[in-house]
Amino acid sequence: MASSPASPPTAMGTREWLLLLVLSLLWGGSFFFAKIAVTEWPPLAVVLARVALAAAVLHVAVRALGLTMAVGGRMWLAFFGMGLLNNLIPFGLIFWGQTQIGAGLAAILNATTPVFGVVVAHFFGSNEKATPLKITGVLAGVVGVAILMGPDVISGLGNALLPQLACLAAALSYGFAGLYGRRFRELPPLVTATGQLSATTVMTVPLVLLLAPPWLLPFPSRAAIGALVGLALLSTALAYVIFFQIMRRAGGSNAMLVTFLVPVSAILLGVGLLGEALLPRHFLGMAAIFLGLALIDGRLFRRRKGAHPQESRI
């Protein structure tokens, strides 16, 4: 199946913002699950467990809903491209990075994804050009994440250069995935998620056999098994169905905004489930992030401009 020309993305509506919030909760948990898993298994083995289990569950869901994976050779080839850009490369790099740097620093580096997404869409896309408002919003979001994570995280930027570059390379890969994913707009999100995870599984198996043979791995503890299941079912299978739904309706750049909300979700989960306290910088950081999201969305700006049309005349 040949990809059709990309149509202009739909603006982010209430449904898309709610889906983005849910997605941020699911992907916020992935940092927690991954941190547990990589203490017992090497990163590539964790990647394989994540994508293989998620793909198996989604294949069952596809059959149960009467959908089909018979989408043609060209689309399956595209699934392999998406699996490489959106799963194998970034998952492997982030998991490896988390073996050497803290989760907070990994999160702030991962939050540069919308920056790369806007840049990639501007230079390589045709209908998601960067505007001054969107660029300002992206920068405000990055600043907000930096404030949210605190000075200790920022001070760690000078250490462990290679793991940090790996996380930045993962964010760049996500940026290209956001653009590449436009070709799947005609497919149901469940089919797209299943296809790219299946393709990733096929690509990862030989790497694991070569670099992390399963027969040499220790049997995981209950905590690690729980982390792998949560990583696969919640942070991958369910999360990708939601992700491709957002991408289908609102475009790749908007879907990538979730990385700004992931640190916010992680902190709010800590407050709600672990009784952690909110500090003044948390409120300041969240305010900057929400301002960035509002600027990128542009709706308030457009409404004000529409309410005072004479102000736009020069």
Q: Does residue 267 belong to any structural domain of this protein?
A: yes
Q: Does residue 227 belong to any structural domain of this protein?
A: yes
Domain count, the chain: 1
Q: Does residue 5 belong to any structural domain of this protein?
A: no
Q: Does residue 314 belong to any structural domain of this protein?
A: no
Q: CA of 62: how far to CAs of 19, 26, 260, in Å?
A: 21, 21, 31
What pLDDT does residue 299 have? Answer: 59
What pLDDT does residue 157 have? Answer: 57
What is the DSSP-derived secondary structure letter of residue 68?
Answer: -
Q: Does residue 10 belong to any structural domain of this protein?
A: no
Q: Does residue 59 belong to any structural domain of this protein?
A: yes
Contacts 24+ apart (CB under 8 A), 183-186: 183/3, 183/4, 183/6, 183/78, 184/75, 184/78, 184/82, 184/244, 184/247, 184/248, 185/4, 185/6, 185/7, 185/247, 185/248, 186/4
Q: Which of 221, 210, 232, 200 is nearest to 58 (CA)?
A: 232
Q: Which of 55, 43, 36 is nearest to 227 (CA)?
A: 36
What pLDDT does residue 270 have? Answer: 60
Q: Does residue 4 belong to any structural domain of this protein?
A: no
What pLDDT does residue 313 have? Answer: 29
Secondary structure element (H or E) that encloses residue 133, with its range: helix 132-149
What pLDDT does residue 3 have? Answer: 35
What pLDDT does residue 160 have? Answer: 67
Question: What is the extent of the structural domain holding 154?
Answer: 21-306
Q: Which of 152, 81, 140, 151 is nearest to 111 (CA)?
A: 140
What pLDDT does residue 99 have? Answer: 85
Residues of the chain with pLDDT under 50: 1-8, 308-314
What pLDDT does residue 63 have? Answer: 94
pTM: 0.77
Q: Which of 109, 114, 113 is nearest to 157 (CA)?
A: 109
Q: Which of 228, 169, 168, 217 is nearest to 47 (CA)?
A: 228
Q: Is the separation of the CB atoms in 109 and 168 below 8 Å?
A: yes
